Amino acid sequence: MMVRSGKPAMRFGTLMSAVVLLVFAGRTAWPQAAPPALGLQEQGTQAAPPPSTPALSAPPAREENPGLINEMGKLFDKLPSILPAIKSPSETMNDLSRLAKPSTMVSGRVACPASANGAPDCKQAADQLCQTKGYREGKSLNADSAEKCSAKVLIPGRQRKPDDCRTDTFVTSALCQN
C-alpha cells in the first residue's frame, strides 16, 4: 500500500516504520546457526573422528529444501523440455522470407459488386484494382461506402421509399501480389 501525504515528515515516518518492520521481520525469519567451535572442547566430551569416505563413493544426497528458491530451481531445470528450441537468427530470417511474398500497395476506386447474399464482394474489387495496375491478385486494405439515391428523393413532399437509395461500397486501396 502506498501512502501519499503532502507532509514530508509523514512520508519519512512511514518509510522508517516500513524499514523497521523489514529489519525485525528479517531477524525472526532467518534461522540461527550454531556458534562456531573454536577448537575448545568441554571436559566431558570427546571429538568424534571425522567419517572416512572412500575416494570412489558418490557424493552425499542433497537434503530437499522446500523453499521458494528450491522450487524455482526445479522450474528452471524443467524449462528446456517445456520450451521449443530457439532458432538462430539466420534460420528465423529464412522462415520469414519464405512466408513473405513481395507485395505492393496501390490506390484507386473500384466498386464492390454484390454477392449472392447481397453483401459487397470486395475481394473481387481488390483483384480488379490490382489487375488495372499490372498485378495478378490483391487484398482490400481500405474501403469506402456511399449512399446513392435516385432523383425522386429530391422532390418536395414525396415520401421516401426503401428502394429509393442504395449503399455502394468501393475499394480505395489494396495490397497487390504477383
- At 83-122, the pLDDT tens digits run 777 888 888 888 777 766 677 899 999 999 988 998 899 9
Q: How confident is the model at residue 177 (pLDDT cuts 50, 70, 90)?
A: confident
Whether the per-residue pLDDT at 163 is higher than 80: the answer is yes
Position 25 in a domain: no
Q: How many folded domains does the chain comprise?
A: 1
Position 123 in a domain: yes
Q: How confident is the model at residue 68 (pLDDT cuts 50, 70, 90)?
A: confident
Q: Which of 22-26, 106-110, 167-171 has the lowest mean pLDDT?
A: 22-26
Distance CA 113, CA 132 (A): 17
User: Which residue pairs from 116-125 have beta carbons closer than 8 angstroms and sit at least 24 positions apart in sequence?
Assistant: 120/169, 122/169, 122/171, 125/170, 125/171
13 against 89, higher pLDDT: 89
Position 169 in a domain: yes
Q: Which of 53-57, 139-143, 147-151, 155-159 has the lowest mean pLDDT?
A: 53-57
Position 168 in a domain: yes
| DSSP secondary structure code for residue 154 in this structure | G
Position 145 in a domain: yes
Grouping H, G, I as helix, E, B as strand and the rest as coil, residue 53 is: coil
46 against 160, higher pLDDT: 160
Q: Going along the chain, which residue ranges are E strands? A: 103-111, 137-149, 165-177
Domain that holds residue 172: 97-177
Q: What mean pLDDT is predicted for residues 123-137?
A: 92
Please state, for a pLDDT cut of 90, what percent of the chain lies above it.
22
- Mean pLDDT estimate for the chain: 77
Position 153 in a domain: yes
Q: What mean pLDDT is predicted for residues 10-19?
A: 68
Position 23 in a domain: no
Q: What mean pLDDT is predicted for residues 71-94?
A: 80
Q: What's CA 38's distance to the chain center, in Å?
A: 57
Q: What mean pLDDT is predicted for residues 69-75?
A: 83
Q: What is the pTM of this model?
A: 0.42
Position 163 in a domain: yes
